[in-house]
Amino acid sequence: VVEGKKEEEEKEDPVVIGMTLHSSFHFGLVRPLTFGGLCSGKIPLADRFYVGGPGQLRGFMPAGIGPRASRGGSSVPGGDSLGGDLFYTSTLAASVPFPKSISTLRHNGARLFGFVNAGTCVSTTG
């Protein structure tokens, strides 16, 4: 009697096994304190919100979102960023391990990553 060998196929894990979801939401609103008219009602440039860049909205330059000066800004088209007093940013991302067929990356902990970002920065005081 000849005993047959049973070959086991290595099956790929379903995509949902090992999937990690990441999310974040940030917002801010700043208003000036006028102390009954004793102080200016303007918000200093240093106290405004500046949105953009890899830590907030991928694909945009730092301070690339929001109100801009009509002129100026040699490195940025459209003028320098003036900042805003209201902003929000939101991110939804998912990551999964590399397939078993790419074992080097999988064993070293590398992951495939996809994301969606949304956000804005506006000036409500004009």
Per-residue pLDDT reduced to its tens digit, 6-44: 454 455 555 567 899 999 999 999 998 888 888 888 888
Confidence of residue 61 (pLDDT cuts 50, 70, 90): confident
Confidence of residue 102 (pLDDT cuts 50, 70, 90): confident
Reported as a single tens digit per residue, the pLDDT across 66-101 is: 998 877 766 666 788 899 999 999 999 999 988 888
Strands (E), the chain: 20-29, 86-97, 111-122
Q: What is the mean pLDDT of residues 47-68?
A: 89
Collect all residues with Cβ–Cβ distance below 8 Å to 49 and sequence separation of at least 6: 28, 30, 66, 83, 84, 85, 86, 87, 121
